[in-house]
Amino acid sequence: MTFNKLILLFSLIATSYSGFSQITGNSSFAMDSIDWSKPKEYVIAGIQVECSQFTDKNVVRLLSGLSADDKIQIPGDKIGEAIKNLWKQGLFEDVQIYLEKTLGDKAFLKIVVVDKPKLTKFSFNSVVRKNDADEIRGKIRFVTGKVVTDYTLGYIKNIVKDHYVNKGFYNAMYKLHETCISTN
């Protein structure tokens, strides 16, 4: 068996957005109406959430720590804390909070999150023996829906490498292949 042809295939739901956080206006209104040097207290009148179809909007609201009728200052620490709360979950590639509009002392916020890729399927090419594939699958023990990170990919590579080194194939080669699947 030629191990140069060993390929792990991951089908991932992914996007190519780089992660960053911000609070900004989604329109010129929000940017023009806020004096960034003088924080003003607002009451949150509404929080709109934009996320993938697989993420529950209510969960995003809950994890942010913000809720309707909370008093916040804009600019202020509560927005930053909300962003940190969402980042800490390890579920999102990108987190943004927008000030959509203000009406008097009421603020309308919009939270936009982009999910990290999730494992939907993994398989081996036909060159890998069924017995080897079953052993590796047993060692990896992944379930569909698990968030895939760089750590996860490194872990998989190490499992495959160790599997073949333990069998005496020290120069075994493998290739990890990720495929993005659109969620639309």
Residues facing 99 on adjacent strands: 25, 109
Lowest mean pLDDT among 84-88, 89-93, 126-130, 131-135: 126-130
Give the whole-angstrom CA distance, residue 171 versus residue 152.
22
Residues in the chain: 184
Residue where the block lists tokens 């569909």: 144
Give the whole-angstrom CA distance, residue 71 versus residue 67.
9
- Where in the sequence of the chain do the CATH 3.10.20.310 domains occur? 23-115
On whether the CB atoms of residues 75 and 89 are closer than 8 A, the answer is no
Predicted model pTM: 0.63
Instruction: Identify the CATH number of the domain defined by range 23-115.
Output: 3.10.20.310
pLDDT band for position 175 (cuts 50, 70, 90):
confident
Asked if pLDDT for residue 25 goes beyond 70, the answer is no
Query: What is the percentage of the chain residues whose pLDDT exceeds 70?
Result: 78
Asked if pLDDT for residue 84 goes beyond 90, the answer is yes
> Which alpha helices (DSSP H) does the chain contain, by range?
28-33, 57-64, 77-88, 130-140, 150-166
What pLDDT does 65 receive?
92
Neighbours of 108 (CB within 10 A): 18
Which has the higher per-residue pLDDT, 52 or 17?
A: 52
